[in-house]
Structure formats: C-alpha cells, structure tokens
Chains A and B, each alone.
Chain A
C-alpha cells in the first residue's frame, strides 16, 4: 500500500525568507502523480503544485517549486519570498490508480 509521510507538524519562516517543507512517500507503482495542497484557515483546499513522476524536471509555480527525488521517494516544497498569505496547512498527496493518499500536513507560520 502507498503511504505519504510529512515529518514536520509545524514550521515557521520569516516574511520574505525561504522555507522547505518535506514529504516522503512509498509506492511500488512506476507511474503516479504528486501534489502539494494548501489549506488556509478558510478550510478550502487549494492546489499549489503538481508533479508527474515520469518527468525529471521539477515543477515550478511562481514562488513555489518542488525538489522531486524519485529514487529517494522524496517530494519537498520550497516557498521563496514567503508572504503572510502563505500561512496555512500544507498537505502532500500521492495519486496512483484510483485513489489519492494524503500526508498528515505541515502547519506553516509566517512571521512578520
């Protein structure tokens, strides 16, 4: 069975600084997708970034980028130039055949 592990329950970053959130996963599938979702206090789940496992190039969306290490089964999220609006829960997710598996989340605090 697939698993997703986020080992950092909480992280803090100073405004304008860079922070990296960690995610590891376990799977025997060769074709899958990985996601980072953001959940602000409003509770709405918002897609931050998506990575196809067959692509070696790391995905980037503006200030958000990933470090995808397929052999190590690692999928970390880097947030550059952190802003107050980045404060939220961040969930790493794995998607295989039919289902999505979510990690337990990392709460990011942004300090002014």
Chain B
C-alpha cells in the first residue's frame, strides 16, 4: 500500500514549456486535490475532483488544467509554464468526503526559469 505518490519529485522547466504532474493513490479514495505551496502563503487549492470524470476549480486555477480519467489518478497540467508557477505542488486524497482526513503525497518541487 503506497498511499499517495507523485511523479516527478523535482523538475526544472523553461518558460513556455509544458508538463504534467501525476498523482496516484491506491486507497480507492473518491476525492482528490491539487495544492501549491509558496513561502508565507500556506497551501492553496488549484483544482479538485469529487470522483472519476469530475473536476472543479479551486482558489488559484489559472494556468493549470486537470483530468481524472481514472479514479486512482489525478493529473495536473501546465500548458505554458511561467516563473510564477515555481512552487511545491502537493496532491491529496480523501476517502468519502471533505470532512475526513486528507492523505498527502510527498510533493513535487517545480522550478520555472
């Protein structure tokens, strides 16, 4: 049981490049979330999903897209990376509802030059 995993752990991009961050969970959780963490700003919600095939915008969705084609995977895409997207990205999953405990992945550190 790996819990929540994130791929890659670290990535350097040039401005304008695209990439996809993968979040995978093996706990059969319904809800999945993508956050970014910046110094002094805590965790801010980018997008979330309440089930396979569904996605919704969070607090800071601009510049990102997501997909949840399979229940266990939640992908975060950057179509044209900008330096402002330099951050640490966390994925989390929850079993049956947002009042339950979130299980977090180890994070992906992204540097956009």
Q: Name A residues whose Cβ lies closer than 8 Å to a Cβ of B.
A: 6, 9, 31-33, 35, 42-45, 47, 50, 52, 91, 95-105
Q: Name B residues whose Cβ lies closer than 8 Å to a Cβ of A.
A: 31, 33, 35, 40-45, 48, 50, 56, 58, 88, 90, 92, 98-102, 104, 106-107
Report whether over half of chain B's contact residues are helix, strand or loop; otherwise say mixed.
Answer: strand
Complex-state Cα separation, A95 to B92, whole angstroms: 14
New A-B contacts (8) at CB < 8 Å, excluding given A96-B98, A97-B98: A33-B99, A35-B101, A50-B101, A52-B99, A98-B48, A98-B50, A104-B41, A105-B42
Complex-state Cα separation, A32 to B97, whole angstroms: 11
Complex-state Cα separation, A99 to B58, whole angstroms: 8
Could you write out 22 A-B pairs with CB less than 8 Å apart? A33-B98, A33-B100, A42-B106, A43-B88, A45-B92, A45-B104, A52-B99, A91-B42, A91-B43, A95-B99, A96-B98, A97-B98, A98-B31, A99-B33, A99-B98, A100-B33, A100-B45, A100-B98, A101-B45, A102-B35, A102-B42, A104-B40
In the complex formed, the residue of B with least CB distance to A92 is: B42
CB B21 to nearest CB in A, in angstroms, measures 15
A100 adjacent to B106 (CB under 8 Å)? no
Complex-state Cα separation, A55 to B112, whole angstroms: 45
Contacts of B98 on A, CB cut-off 8 Å? 33, 95-100
